[in-house]
Structure 1
Amino acid sequence: MKVVLTGQSLTLAQVKDVCYGFATVEIEEASMRKVEESRYSVEEIVSRKKTIYGITTGFGKFSDVMIAETDVNDLQLNLIRSHACGVGDPFPEIVSRAMVLLRLNALLKGFSGVRVEIIKQLQTLLNERIHPVVPQQGSLGASGDLAPLSHLALVLIGEGQVHFEGGIYEANLVLKEKGIQPISLKAKEGLALINGTQAMTAQGVINWIESMRLFYQSEMIAAMTFEGLEGIIDAFHPAIHEARGYVQQTEVAARMCELLKESKLITNQGEKRVQDAYSLRCIPQVHGATLQALDYVKEKLEIEMNAATDNPLIFNGGQMVISGGNFHGQPIAFAMDFMKIAMAELANISERRIERLVNPGLNDLPPFLSPQPGLQSGAMIMQYCAASLVSENKTLAHPASVDSIPSSANQEDHVSMGTIASRHAYMIIQNVRRVLAIECICALQAVQYRGIEKMAPVTLAFYKEVRKIVPSIDSDRVYSKDIEEMAAWLKKRDIR
């Protein structure tokens, strides 16, 4: 499997192939020619001693400080070292891999002025599965993800640390082992490597991939809960959803009907009750709205993945070199904040279904699904755990994009905080997965009480598969292990 990069056409499906499937990365020849032409323009600027930001001047508030021709290479090295001040735990390795891929793709657009050597070094890191260790905290999300991308750039010059073959090592040792020569940065290359939105976008891409996997899993789990509570299938009739007009809502209702087809545990309107609670009846409306948000996020990510986000940008063979603000992460900041809210709500409605599964006042199942109510607590505290997770999500869902703080002596006086939004979205997704794991464990027990032979063929197959991960509750045990094992299984498994 291989993915050919052009700088123009990278898709989320291809990112998934590279990051999860370790597809080999190749470079389109036409894109490489654009890189060479752009590099020639930079060398002309240096030789003619033109005043161009970041090439022959300092950075940020130092943009008025002229740099001698003899110092332009040192300027780039100093930039990387001084800006590599990220702190905290590193991004997950898969996010680091995505970061390298997206930075490579952006440079292939031919607006950044780097040498072919930079392109090939990034390509080598991907194909050799050498991934920079990048601290998560320290980016304002404007002027690009300066601190995170500086840690990425360190690896190209043989400094910093890398993930490699399951461990973390000094970059120079791994490069030497693989016979890879560290690069000496030339004019503009340091700036081109770090002035971009690839940290927030890389995390955002992984967020989206994991969110879509969780989204379809949530439908399957909700369908099993629906059976456990003998839900009223009429609420999913296509006429209701077509009358409203949201495509995603209609699609969710149709999938729920398909999942529950031939089930003997579902009911009809008036058979046992007239209406279900909203957490059952409104699954298409709520889940569908989450899917709408994820579709919006996908659109923004695929634009940003193929965007030139550094500064300055070089056009028309060097005839135009323009300083602008494409490094500003506001579009991704908004998208990640939207994702946070949408995914948090998927957990909110799941937790309400958990409550309906365990509360003896809301169903005719054994109280808290306990095998011996009173002596054994059953799933009582699992609902507490879910409630705690959804409450934490409400705090994390506070929008990061509404905040800003000036930097670089007020030269950079409005920033996006998009990387914070992206990181918090990832944290929410992990919490959502655990809430869904709890719902799944409870739904397994509920349908077991009802009689699994009455389940729909699709949900029964899922039940049998999941029972290999979490056995039936026949006595109280340490449920933490069950929740974490179920969440780990969901993280790896594609429903579709």
Structure 2
Amino acid sequence: MHQTIDFMSYNYLPLDSKPLQFQQIKHLLDYDQLVSITFDAHEKIMRCREYLDQKMQESGKMYYGVNTGFGYLQNVQISLDQIEQLQYNLIVSHSCGLGEEVPKEIVKLMMMLKIKQLSYGHSGVQINTVIRLMDMYNNGMFPVIYAQGSLGASGDLAPLSHLSLPLLGLGEVYFNGEKMASAAALKKMNWEPIHLQSKEGLALINGTQFMNAYGLYCLKKAEQLIKMADLIAALSIEAFDCLLEPYHPAIHQIRGHQGQIDTATTIRCFLAGSEIAQQPKKQVQDPYSFRCIPQVHGASKDAFKHVLNIFMQEVNSVTDNPNIFPDEDLIVSGGNFHGQPLAINLDYLCIAMSEIASISERRTYQLISGQRGLPMFLVKNAGLNSGFMIPQYTAAGIVSENKQLCTPASVDSISSSNNQEDHVSMGANAATKCYRLMQNVEKVLGIELLTAAQAFDFRRPAKTSLVLEELMTQFRKQVPFNDADRILHTDMINSINFIADYTLNSPTEQ
């Protein structure tokens, strides 16, 4: 008899100064978790706000963004009776986003990361502001945010301003999936707009949460794509009747790169027990796109690990400005909002994942070339049928686009705020192009899987490993063998979706 468990009773992500792990962030999205600050975070937020209120009573003191203007207007002191108006004006004047709407999953990550940052008690916000952000998230009220507008240096100003507008009853939200004015959504919940106090506007819009959220989403996607790239490559190895020698552990140990060693091990595991792999081969060597899978995939895996470490450091950081240290009696203005660590590594992730697609397309090309006993373009009656000729064209076009997307954003900088903000990271552009590139990599791998499965069926009745036989069984439930020309767009879409959803258990060497 199965016991029914109420997951909602504990299905939330606790947010405070304790470090989050990548697995927790993935669970937040995969299991639609709620968010909540802890009692410890609540106390730290309250203490910081009380300290800032005390400092505001000191006459003649100027604190950047607390009782002064912003950016180039830093030397303009604002009177106490205008503080709320100052913070309101900051949010509305900086809500200058354009372009496509930020996807919901990334908006959710942005909100979680903003709450996480505020939970450290170095930002000076009032507790009601943090609670409202939590309530919005947990009630399915997600701000409409636009992908263009951030320079990735003064924080992600424009995107985070759009995130903050609903606190004031402004802007738009998706409330339980329906797009509406924020004022209407607040009315449905019987919520009053938040009246911002000193420093709160800056605390909300200074920070790297736009770049960080995109990066985390891309890393989550990349993790699945890297796993599937190895599996699909193993199927291509079988379909192309390749040699096993390039995956022998001895040659990888003497080079020593961990990603390379791990990839060779994974490929051997995927091919363990295969009849086809054990058959004698006629060729002495295979093309690089097969022979060098451990070296290429491995380099991308090592890059992934590095980028993940950088982004998780940022998750567990405070990136607004100025920063408040009640215990040290300090209010310090600096530049933690500068996105350079993220910008450089988003560019790096683009390059690493682009290579996964680049080598994949080359395997697709080899499979349709009429070699190793396979028919030209993997179809019967080639000539009458074009077979798998054009999916490779599509893959090639996407790989070419990826090369353009790998042009680094982080090497650019355009001065702003009357040259006060004279070096910016352009990390937001790095983030949005990385998102597009991840979608492209998934498409190219989908085309390789479609092609490899078609090629592999020409090897029947020979058997491959249990892992790959299971892959073929599940894939053929979604995409049947191609006997004659048909609209392949549908097959390609189904193959791409298959990659996104396929659960792969870690294989073991036999």
What band does the TM-score fall into relative to the shorter chain?
over 0.9
Matches within 5 A, 1:436-475: 436-451=445-460, 453-475=462-484
2:64 is matched with: 53
1:171 is matched with: 182
Deviations 1:52-77 (A, max 9, x none): 00011000000011101100110000
CA contact (8 A) 2:242 2:281 kept: no
Letter of the structure 1 residue corresponding to residue 500 of structure 2: K
1:262 is matched with: 273
Distance in 2 (alpha carbons) for counterparts of 1:395 and 1:313: 38
Secondary structure in structure 2 of the residue aligned to 1:36: helix
Distance in 2 (alpha carbons) for counterparts of 1:167 and 1:236: 52
Letter of the structure 1 residue corresponding to residue 484 of structure 2: S
Distance in 2 (alpha carbons) for counterparts of 1:180 and 1:439: 51
Distance in 2 (alpha carbons) for counterparts of 1:318 and 1:127: 35
| Structure 2 CA distance for partners of 1:172 and 1:489, relative to 1, 3 Å | farther
Q: CA deviation at 1:164?
A: 3.0
Distance in 2 (alpha carbons) for counterparts of 1:120 and 1:371: 64
Question: Once structures 1 and 2 are overlaid, which stretch shifts more, 27-36 or 53-62?
Answer: 27-36
Q: CA deviation at 1:85?
A: 0.4
Q: CA deviation at 1:479?
A: 1.1
Secondary structure in structure 1 of the residue aligned to 2:147: strand
CA contact (8 A) 1:351 1:435 kept: yes
Q: CA deviation at 1:452?
A: 5.8
Distance in 1 (alpha carbons) for counterparts of 2:152 and 2:461: 50
1:310 is matched with: 320
Do structure 1's residue 181 and structure 2's residue 192 form an aligned pair? yes
CA contact (8 A) 2:344 2:427 kept: yes
Distance in 2 (alpha carbons) for counterparts of 1:249 and 1:200: 29
CA contact (8 A) 1:20 1:94 kept: no
1:482 is matched with: 491
Matching residue within 6, 9, 27 for 2:37? 27
Matching residue within 243, 265, 268 for 2:254? 243
Q: TM-score, normalised by structure 1?
A: 0.97
Question: Once structures 1 and 2 are overlaid, which stretch shifts more, 79-88 or 317-326?
Answer: 317-326
CA contact (8 A) 1:37 1:317 kept: no
Secondary structure in structure 1 of the residue aligned to 2:174: strand
Matching residue within 215, 219, 225 for 1:214? 225
| Structure 2 CA distance for partners of 1:489 and 1:316, relative to 1, 3 Å | same
1:136 is matched with: 147
Distance in 2 (alpha carbons) for counterparts of 1:494 and 1:311: 42
Do structure 1's residue 292 and structure 2's residue 302 form an aligned pair? yes
Secondary structure in structure 2 of the residue aligned to 1:37: helix
Secondary structure in structure 2 of the residue aligned to 1:399: coil
1:125 is matched with: 136
Distance in 2 (alpha carbons) for counterparts of 1:446 and 1:141: 46
Secondary structure in structure 2 of the residue aligned to 1:467: helix
Q: CA deviation at 1:161?
A: 1.4
Secondary structure in structure 2 of the residue aligned to 1:321: strand
CA contact (8 A) 1:207 1:429 kept: yes
Do structure 1's residue 84 and structure 2's residue 102 form an aligned pair? no
Q: CA deviation at 1:455?
A: 1.6
1:275 is matched with: 285
Letter of the structure 2 residue corresponding to residue 57 of structure 1: T
Letter of the structure 2 residue corresponding to residue 119 of structure 1: V
1:97 is matched with: 108
| Structure 2 CA distance for partners of 1:376 and 1:311, relative to 1, 3 Å | same
Question: Once structures 1 and 2 are overlaid, which stretch shifts more, 307-316 or 486-495?
Answer: 486-495
Deviations 1:324-374 (A, max 9, x none): 0000000000110000000000000000000010012x4320100112200
Question: Once structures 1 and 2 are overlaid, which stretch shifts more, 179-188 or 289-298?
Answer: 179-188
Deviations 1:452-491 (A, max 9, x none): 6512110110111111221111111111121122212322
CA contact (8 A) 2:99 2:146 kept: yes
Deviations 1:95-140 (A, max 9, x none): 0000000010011111100011111111112212221111000100
Letter of the structure 2 residue corresponding to residue 324 of structure 1: G
Deviations 1:296-333 (A, max 9, x none): 11100110011110110011347111110000000000
1:377 is matched with: 386
1:74 is matched with: 85
Matches within 5 A, 1:305-344: 305-317=315-327, 319-344=329-354
CA contact (8 A) 2:170 2:181 kept: yes
Q: CA deviation at 1:267?
A: 4.8
Question: Once structures 1 and 2 are overlaid, which stretch shifts more, 16-25 or 234-243?
Answer: 16-25
Which ranges in structure 1 are unaligned for 5 or more consecutive residues?
none
Secondary structure in structure 1 of the residue aligned to 2:417: coil
Letter of the structure 1 residue corresponding to residue 78 of structure 2: I
Secondary structure in structure 2 of the residue aligned to 1:257: helix
Matches within 5 A, 1:153-172: 153-172=164-183
Letter of the structure 2 residue corresponding to residue 288 of structure 1: G
> What number of residue pairs does the alignment pair up?
494
2:28 is matched with: 18
1:432 is matched with: 441
Distance in 2 (alpha carbons) for counterparts of 1:168 and 1:308: 31
CA contact (8 A) 1:158 1:175 kept: yes
Q: TM-score, normalised by structure 2?
A: 0.94
Deviations 1:226-277 (A, max 9, x none): 1100111111111111111111111111111111111112257x73211111
Matching residue within 6, 14, 31 for 1:4? 14
CA contact (8 A) 2:241 2:281 kept: no
Letter of the structure 1 residue corresponding to residue 324 of structure 2: I
Letter of the structure 1 residue corresponding to residue 33 of structure 2: A
Which ranges in structure 2 are unaligned for 5 or more consecutive residues?
1-10, 506-510
CA contact (8 A) 2:276 2:462 kept: no
Do structure 1's residue 402 and structure 2's residue 408 form an aligned pair? no
Do structure 1's residue 390 and structure 2's residue 399 form an aligned pair? yes
1:355 is matched with: 365
Letter of the structure 1 residue corresponding to residue 37 of structure 2: I
Deviations 1:10-44 (A, max 9, x none): 12211111123111222221121111111112212
Distance in 2 (alpha carbons) for counterparts of 1:322 and 1:381: 59
Distance in 1 (alpha carbons) for counterparts of 2:491 and 2:190: 45
